[in-house]
Structure 1
């Protein structure tokens, strides 16, 4: 029996959706601290959500190219993970990990075979790798923005690299993605929303159920 896939529900803004994700069996929950995102959560609300989740589920705060004061402010809240979702270099990731004292997940955008070659730079400086779709040209924020990338590109990835898969996942395609790609975990945000930033409890439940069916 393979280990069950880790399921992360990201972009949570309310305690009701947090509770729904935990009740449905999520392994990790993610909160965005990035003002340009429709899922942005303030430091005050982050503190509340992390407090509510503590001891029930692993928490992850998503930051985009944060400065040291932002890292320190978020790390002080005691999340289990900080996810770096910007253009951070391997050196910067390593510095943030040393500074924050919490586990670091690094998102690497994938859009071409060339991008696969960049993944290995981060395996020693981050505790976990997240592969996400490269944002379209001109996008004002990182991430796949609800789009998936060509999963066949991952055939060229070093098989020893464990990773979480993100980008365009939904309750309808997550089972296929797990079977095809064999990720360590899956991460969803917009794929379980009824509108940008508005999570749908039934979609969250369906996503976790379908991911667990593998």
Structure 2
């Protein structure tokens, strides 16, 4: 990898087309097929019971086995303990772990070593003060997402974006994945304005909380057109 992405673990995907496209919350093998056909570089499998996109271990294994070798597999968890992660890694054999809880920098480093895989860490953003945490994770790909609404039972932006102008001073040599409120209609502006390493979408390509093939295709087309 070259440029900002050179700071990442070499096992992160580095295709010719930037940014990478991650479609998270895949819940069926046929939807994995649709995401891959649309042009996804990564698909996310959620293992967190409060999420409407939660997958039991057998379901995660079935989707991972179905898609393996055709796309980068990412498993998403929230403050999972070692036993949960051991079971998930054994079942899905993901390429990448994505952590969306309050995992400390030490915990992130511990898990990267324990499972010998790259790790992405989500960071909730609502103000400039939230971005101070980036220095705590110097070699980790950060997933910049909106903070959840007050009283929410799960992390993430719940379909909302944060103020992208907060990233005006973002270090030019620091790659990041942009999440939160992205849709086929908004992602092009994000790509042009922020030049992220990757974009991460879930509810923005759904109809009634189920991934929609037409929306996934439109999302990927918007990304590629904006990236030129």
Contact 1:71 1:100 in 2 (8 A): no
Question: Take 1:101 and 1:72, find their aligned partners in 2: how far apart are those partners?
Answer: 12
Question: Take 2:35 and 2:83, find their aligned partners in 1: how far apart are those partners?
Answer: 30
Q: Which residue of 2 aligns with 1:18?
A: 32
Q: Provide the alpha-carbon RMSD of the alignment.
A: 1.2
| 1:145-189 superposed Cα distances (whole Å, 9 cap, x missing partner) | 000000000012222210010000000000001011111110000
Higher alpha-carbon deviation: 172-181 or 100-109: 100-109
Which secondary structure does the structure 2 equivalent of 1:180 belong to? helix
TM-score, L = length of structure 1: 0.95
Any stretches of 5+ residues in structure 1 without a counterpart?
none
1:205 matched to 2:220:
no
| 1:119-164 superposed Cα distances (whole Å, 9 cap, x missing partner) | 221122x3x2211111112111000100000000001222221001
Higher alpha-carbon deviation: 53-62 or 71-80: 71-80
Q: Which residue of 2 aligns with 1:154?
A: 167
Question: Take 1:71 and 1:95, find their aligned partners in 2: how far apart are those partners?
Answer: 12
Question: Take 1:161 and 1:137, find their aligned partners in 2: how far apart are those partners?
Answer: 30
Any stretches of 5+ residues in structure 2 without a counterpart?
1-15
| 1:18-54 superposed Cα distances (whole Å, 9 cap, x missing partner) | 0011111110000110000000011001111111111
Contact 2:38 2:213 in 1 (8 A): no
Contact 1:75 1:101 in 2 (8 A): no
Aligned ranges 1:93-108 → 2 under 5 Å: 93-108=108-123
Which of 71, 80, 91 does residue 95 from structure 2 map onto? Answer: 80
Aligned ranges 1:112-131 → 2 under 5 Å: 112-124=127-139, 126=140, 128-131=141-144
1:71 matched to 2:69:
no
1:166 matched to 2:176:
no
Q: Which residue of 2 aligns with 1:145?
A: 158
1:38 matched to 2:55:
no
Question: Take 1:203 and 1:165, find their aligned partners in 2: how far apart are those partners?
Answer: 18
In the alignment of these two chains, the number of paired residues is 210
Contact 1:194 1:200 in 2 (8 A): yes
Query: Runs of 4 or more off by more than 3 Å in structure 1?
Result: none
Question: Take 2:176 and 2:85, find their aligned partners in 1: how far apart are those partners?
Answer: 23
| 1:87-143 superposed Cα distances (whole Å, 9 cap, x missing partner) | 11111111111112221111111110001111221122x3x2211111112111000
